Structure 1
């Protein structure tokens, strides 16, 4: 009988990081079909088998890991149940122990804490906190009271405030003495101030009388135009001229020209006419000259005079008592300071008008001009003296202000005297009851 040829046994081994399969026959229907189909499709059967082994290895590894995890989970749950049971038993034992200890310490009736609190804070306990505190406070208050009485006792030589009390009494006596001396000095000073105040009152009355006398020349409520007319009328009558207020009378060119003077109008036919325009505001030079030309044309006058209250109202670039164009003149008139400037301007205008007439050949123009210049110089001197008087008036007004200031200081001294002599509990005096200064 022929001996049987032994079959080659499959052999699988690992070399380094490789797996070597030798003589392995796989009879799995699914594996055979898969390799046959891939081979028929032109794929490499070796590659297909290699992929099947690699994929199968990964699947087996994953399944093994899942199986291991499930095993660990099962074992962990088993151990957890054992630990939980053991922990529950121990926790119960510990809870019972602490419950007993808590009852022994914090028990409502027989607990150690309740007994200790009763002993420390109970009213019937001799060692209670409040009783000990009460005794300590009483002892401290008694000692403090004794020390305080000893500190303020005048009979005790050890009193540290004895020197202070002596110094305080001495200072109070000295302050009282100084206060008495100060009050006597203030009363004496008050008498002197009252005398000075009476003298200042007398001086004030004199100044008021002088001011009233100075302002008496201009009646209250009278307009500047009326004051100018009264002054011009008085000057014209002394020359035999006739002055007429025509400010409300309309001529062909209007109402320009407030006063018209007919020269020698009181003795017969007028030898000339002068028109005066009163303005209480400042005009420009062109406006002033145009106003005077319009007044001469409207009133048929030979000479025009512009009268303003003070030199501040003299038109710009014009000077008072200076002729312009041979038939115009500006005069600054202060009704309360005299009419000398107006009288000089009137005489100058009158002379100019009379010199223009045919019957004025006997008039010496040179002598007239010289006389006018001397009159202007005298008027300038009069203004300088008046300015000096104005300065003196300013000084008097300043003295009056000083009087008022001194009166205020006197009131302050009176209030200080009242405050010094008033008792501490007395209310301040009503201002209406104090001396009127």
Structure 2
């Protein structure tokens, strides 16, 4: 049997993930002490080696990390220095290039802008654009002038021009004709205007004469006096025109009737105020009061020339204040004296009843009869209005018939002219 040879050095082998150590002698005091005290020295030695291996591994890792960190710091410093130098060089290079391009006076960009956009440069963009536009516009104007000045069919406005010229010439001729007609019309209107002005002056003179003093309404006053005189005489009353006779305070009152004065003393006085214009209600009452006071009358009657001249808010043949009334009398209207006759009768009855001289008079019967007379007069007025409207319609119908007859006569004249035209059948041969 061969003897085991003990090697003088330790052998460490790693096989299949396991560590094998031969002839290993350790003289660590702590390890020797712990192994001597341990019940299983082999396990203790294995644990100690495992723990020591881990400690060594961590120490080596830390050493490696410090080394790597130091190397990285060194490399970073080197790179930083190199980058700083390179960046400075690049910045200086770009600064020079920027100065070359953007320098205010000698820069490439400034020179290019000066060359392409300066007003002093012949190659400036605006000059070239202006030249191109002038050339294009000149050609366009020439083409337009050539196209629109042509009278041929190539000119799109040739027909319009001819039509416009013809229309303008026709309008000028028509306007000339109209001007001649207008001049003739204006001459006629001028003559009519002269005549109207003369007529207006004459009417103004007449109106001024009417408005002046006691001559105011003289014609109408005279007609009222004549109508009242015809009503007063058959009843034994006297009628006197007093428009020109001045009393103590004035000349108000145009006609004064003395009731019963033909056969004895007067039993009362009635004053008539004739107005050929419309008065306001207060003015009308004031005129009647003044006339009654100046003429010492018991009753006042305002006589106006038409229904339209009855004062506002007053009615014809309606008593006011028991001693006044208004009546419309148109001398040219048929039946108008009837209203004046009713007013005269009402005023005369009121005077007689107020004086008490009519003892045999039945006031109620007189009042009732007067009311019936006024109502009948209202019916007369209403019928007259209806007759006036009917007459107006009849006049219009007559005008329409006359116009139709005129058209018929015109057609007959046209037929006669057609029959007498040369070449018409039956026309007389020329001499």
Tell me which interval the TM-score lies in, with the shorter structure as reference length: 0.3 to 0.5
Which structure is higher in RCO with an 8 Å CA cutoff and minimum separation 6? Answer: 1
Q: TM-score, normalised by structure 1?
A: 0.45
